Structures are given as structure tokens and as C-alpha cells.
Structure 1
Amino acid sequence: MPDRSPRTDTSTDVDPEDKNQRFDRDQSGAVVMFSDSSDRSKEKSLDQKTLRRLAQNREAARKSRLRKKAYVQQLESSRLKLTQLEQEVQQARPQGGSTSTAGDQSHATGALAFDVEYARWLEEQNRQINELRAAVSSHASDTELQTVVGNVTAHFDEVFKLKGAAAKADVFHILSGMWKTPAERCFMWIGGFRSSEILKLLTNQLEPLTEQQLAGIYNLQQSSQQAEDALSQGMEALQQSLSETLANGSSSTSGSSGNVANYMGQMAMAMGKLGTLESFLRQADNLRQQTLQQMHRILTTRQSARALLAIHDYFSRLRALSSLWVARPRE
């Protein structure tokens, strides 16, 4: 007779696709399947996704920093290219015309030429400062460090020569500080920096100083402050005198030869007073130059190197602040 009793398949044959799974029997004899390898593979897959996401985030942050740095550099490069382009346009214009037009072009060309030369001076200063920073970091000998410090100091003398030559062509351009960034112009005094303020900045940067050095820096700061006050008073007196000269003839009526002669006399007097502006600028630059030279005599070679780095970093931050202000998002 055929066996009609129900059959219970208790085979434990494993499908090839499930070869990574583990089987066992429970207390009732049923087959129990474990998928440890599957769980491990899922965990491994999650870990790989997390690592990949973190790597992508780091790469995105790195690219963002590079884009920001490139944008700031592009702003500086564009400013220099614009200055050079304006100079080329001025040089390409015809030289004919009235005397006043020729004078205006001469002043404009002198100002643009100074801007280009100053940009080159600033680029060379950055190179020398990097060399000085490397020498300080590598603990170079005093002889080597003195050579680098001397080069940076001599380079400062060059900018005073450039300003003196440019002031002869257009003293207003130098005094107004249009060759500097907006943030630098906020702290300008007679076409440059205040020596007394720079000395205040360095006092905290150069510690520790000996008592003799502290006394020397203090005396230098006081003498610089007194000279600055005297020049500031002279500038105020000049402005007041110039204002009075121009206001004296404002109520006269035009038309008669006497009024014309009076007008021309007043303009000649005003022009003579304006001519002293160049003298004030020259005295202010001499004060700045002498202050730097005297500072190096008070400090040691390594202290002088640190002082030059601190001065450069201060003005670099002002220039960077101007770039960030220009590039700020606007609503």
C-alpha cells in the first residue's frame, strides 16, 4: 500500500545563495537561520558611506577656502590692472590742447604712475617680509638676520622717495591717500602713518624690553608726538589762512579791471600757500623715516625683525579688511 502519511521535510540543504548564513536547531528541532555575515556587511556598508560623506565634506570645505582666497587675490589683481589700463589710456591721448588741459593730464599721469610704482613696491615688500619671516622662524644667525633687516629698512626709504617725487606732480593725490585702501585712509595723517601710533603698537609686541630700551622707546614716542602736533597745528593754520584768502574777495562784483586784478592777486596768494603743502608732506615723511631709523638703533637685530613683521602685519590686516568690506554681501 502506498504510504499516505504526511511527510515532514527536515532537510538542512543550504541554497547556494545562502551559503554565508549560519543554521541551527532550536529545542523543538526546527531549523533556525542566523545572518551574522549579512549584518556585518550592512555595518561595513554604513561605515563606508559615513567615511565617504566626511571626505566629501572636507573636500567641499577645502574648495570653498580656495575659492575665497582666489577671490580676494582677484580683487587685488583687478585693481592693479585697472590702474595700469588707466595709465595706458592717459599716455595714448593726444598731447595737444590748452595749457590747463596739458597740466591736468600731467598731474593725472603722475598720480597713475605713482600708483603703479607703489603697487610694485608693495609686491617687493611682501617678498622681503616673507624672507624675513623665514629667517626669524629658522633662527638664522645675527649676521644673516641683520642683512635681511637692512634690506627691508632700505626698502622703506624707497617709498619715501617715490612719494616725494609724486608730490611734485600732484601733492593732493598723496595727501588724500587715494593710493591706499579705504581702511588705511581712515588712519592716515599727512599722507602716511603716525609714528607715535606705530611705537605704541610695538611696545606690546616686543616684550620683554630692558629698562633702557623702554626709556628710549618712550622718549622717541614723546618726541614724535610733539613733532606731529606741531605739523598738525601748521596744517590747521594753513587751511584757515587759505580759507580767509579765498573768502575775502567773494563779495566783490565782477566786470571791472580792478576786480579782475584783485581776483588774480588772491588766486596767486592762494597758490603760494598751497605750495607749502608739499613742505608739510616732506616733513611728515622725514619724521616717519627718522622714527624707523631711531627705532632700529634702540632695538636689537631680532627685536627689529619682529618690529618690522608687526608693522607689516598691521597694514596687511587693514588692506585685507578693505577687501572684505568691498566683497561683503549686500541686501
Structure 2
Amino acid sequence: MKIYNIAVLPGDGIGPEVINEGMKVLQALADVDSTFKFESTTFNWNSDYYLKHNRMMPEDGLSTLQHYDAIFFGAIGDRRVPEHIPIWELIMPIRKNFRQYVNLRPIKQLRGVKSPINANGPIDFYVYRENAEGEYSNIGGRLYQQTDEEIAIQNTVITKKGVRRLASYAFEYAEKNHVKKVVNATKSNAIVHSMKLWDEAVEEVASSYPEIMVEDVYIDALVAHLVQRPETYEVIVASNLFGDILTDLGAALVGGLGLSPSANLNPERNFPSMFEPIHGSAPDISGKQIANPIAQIWSAALMLEHLGRKDLSSIVMTAIENVIEDKKVLTPDLGGNARTFETGDAIVQQINHQYRR
């Protein structure tokens, strides 16, 4: 029996609080299911570490993480450290060096959650966001700083290879799940070089899946459509920036950031993939035990599925939905007054209940 090795990076703010609940759920599974075992190592590479060492992780941090089966990440960000430093010295090096080019973000209205809009059906779609290049590039610079002639240049990097590998992953999912249409988020009418290459690469991949329709939708129209008819979408392929924006909107449609997970995937499995909620470190509520741990726990479910334990992932998701539907142990963002650990405990109880049946 394989014992999974998991690297745990709690991060800053509410990160340690929600990570604790995610780990509690994983341990509950290991306690009741003899076929699942894991070992974990916690790395406190966060803003405190930066303030002490002037870097977000040790020099050999990436080579250390490389040997794990998966990375379980909380949230990063602290008012004492400029915002770009945790992103570009911790998150981005992991995503880019470990070739985690697929950022998978499920946007699903869970049982018991009321959407702020009246959709004409269940909201349930996947956004496949390009995660290793695109608009989030550190290529560029500034000239003539602190003068009236100051110039800033930020380059977008789009490669045919990068778009094709993302699109291929999305279309493979669509084919396996009998999805008839993949929506391509674009803006090639105005961004005429990078986005045209993007569209061409997506179309090239789509040609290998003749039974699946590909629809190009300009990002501004797509944002409006997601508010007006979110139930009509199943799979969206988007660039780094577009995917980031679309999924924050999507999260708002299905209950908020506290319910929204993500997976940073290296499909070839040459490197570990990383699983994290899409919310930030929320320093304003840090330490109050009122953060919703469900996004982190759902991220654990995505990790289990990636590790080949879809059965355990389904158990976690059923437990989450049962707790939400019961409405007795919900955090303030969902209209309750439960504390973070109480919601985690309730989900563990639901897992135990499923095994006792």
C-alpha cells in the first residue's frame, strides 16, 4: 500500500487555521480507511520567515518540495511584506518550476448553498486556467521613475505549446465527461497578437475533438453571460489573468471565496501538484476562527482525486454538502455563527458517519 507524502505550507493569516481543518479531514480518512495512509511535513515558509531570512523559502526549497507527492497550500500575504514578494518568491516559483500549467478551478453550487442570482439550473462548471505563462509574467520594467515621463512595461507571454497543452487537458476532460461545448475566453479583437495566437492554438486542439464544439467568447461578454446564465457553462479555457477574474466572479455566484478550491496541476506528474483555496490570507479576520475552511477541505478533495483516490474525494464532498445542507455548523460567511474548527469537526463527523453506515 502506498503511503502518500504531502508537503504542507500553511502560509499566513487564516492559512494555518484552514489548513488545520484540511489536515484534520485527511487524518479522519486515514483513521477509518485502512487503504489510505499519508505522511506530512509542514514548512513554515511564510511572511515571518521572510522577515527573518529576507527570502520566502530556503535556497533549496524547490528541490525539497520536489520529492513530495503533493503540496497542500493555505494562503499567503501579510501587511508587513510588500504584496508582490510572497507571490513572486513562493507561489510563482512553485507553479512555474514544477510545470503546474493547469490551474483547475471548479465553480459548483453545493447542496444547501443559495446563489445571489436566480439561475435557471444548477451552476456547475470548470475553469481551466493557464498557470505557467500569460499575463502573469515577470518580464518588463520601469524607466524614468519618479518623473512625469515614467514608463512601465509588462509583457504577456503566450506560447503555442503553453496554450495547446492546457487546451488538450480541458478537451480530454470534456470528452471523458460527454461535454459538448468548450468555451474559449478571449479578447483577440483588441489584443491582436497574443490572443490571436491563443485562439489559433485552441482551435488547433479542438480540431482533434470533432464532437466537441468550441465557442470563442470575448472576456467582457463572458463575464456578463456568467451572471445572466451561468447554468449554461460546463468547461471554460482561459488565460492566466482571464481565468483568475472569471473564477472570482464564479466563486461569488456559488457562495463566495470560502467555498472555492483550486488545483495547480502538473499533468505529466514529473513534479508535485499543489492544492489551495483561491481565497487570500484575509488578515482582517486572522486569529478569530471565523474563516470558512470548506475551500481548503475541498482542495484536499481535489488532491485526493489527483492522487488516485476519487472514492475518498467523493466521501469528503458528500460530507461537506451534508454539513452545509444541515445548516447547524456554518461560518459567518454562510449565515451561521460556527467557528472554523467547529465546521471542520462537523465535516469529520459526517465522514465517520458515512463509514459507519
Same fold (TM over 0.5): no
Could you say which structure has the larger radius of gyration?
Answer: 1
> Which structure has more helix as a fraction of its residues?
1
Q: With structure 2 as the length reference, what TM-score do the two structures score?
A: 0.24
Q: With structure 1 as the length reference, what TM-score do the two structures score?
A: 0.25
> Which structure has more strand as a fraction of its residues?
2
